[in-house]
Structure 1
């Protein structure tokens, strides 16, 4: 399974924690997760990179006589945010046409992390700083980086620690589903707030809880 992510460290660190500590949906299934570096971390070029890469790995899979229902068939995912980007709707549509998985967060991935601590249904006006500030203000959050850390600065916040997420998956998933259910507009840029990262956790990483 291959992942193209907007963040340089956050999503990959999160995936590593989940894979190390999560409950597997299919015990014995060896899920290999490889993060790839896109040429541009904006939605459209990222999805375009993922599509080109997927064509190549799927071609090799067919040469190896694999079929799409085989557990070894290569999955390709994109993880990206609204975060004031343009052409998000077009990126999602392209990914769907090309069978690229998408985990999308509005305004950003920090919303998904925040839901491990609390519910949040108000708008962030498309700005990630609000979600990031809410996250860093959670009780005990700074101390996940070390017992003497009193405040998590921007550099620390982008790093994920196990204590921030373990034990919170079912709550975060439940909150996210309720938040997402309120959105009826076809344009994902209008879904504020929104996150479907749990689909990546369960469908790509084969994790049902952590």
Structure 2
């Protein structure tokens, strides 16, 4: 799936754009352009007046940098919700599990969801897969997502770039249209 669908009945879902992901405990990540691209998306979306629902991870894991009591729980600079923009709080990888996200989207008449954020291989991917299974046309903005290096279980490391590339390929094969920030923004400028 390559071509970006019409976004007139779409909602933007920025996923887990929280300060905790900037802490050293998460390790090295790919895509230093996530912030600039994500802010371009938010700006274009807001100008178009389309629905925007912020996804926030409210971790229940002891010591998590994303727990509500930790400073890392806060939104990253430039990604804070504005007045009237709802926040969907989740405690697992998928924004549809244990939340009212599906109900909110259906009440808005949304047929397409556009996702970006942290991390490509975890919460963004899981949410995209479930969105597709629920019948939403799903769009991943690949250059506005990022991964972290992960242990491979055999004493080595899988580089964030490899994880990112593999997950976008898997999503494109069956679950989502994978596109770029520019392709999305250009629809609003046309």
Q: TM-score, normalised by structure 1?
A: 0.25
Q: Which structure shows the bigger proportion of residues in strand conformation?
A: 2
Q: Which has the larger radius of gyration?
A: 1
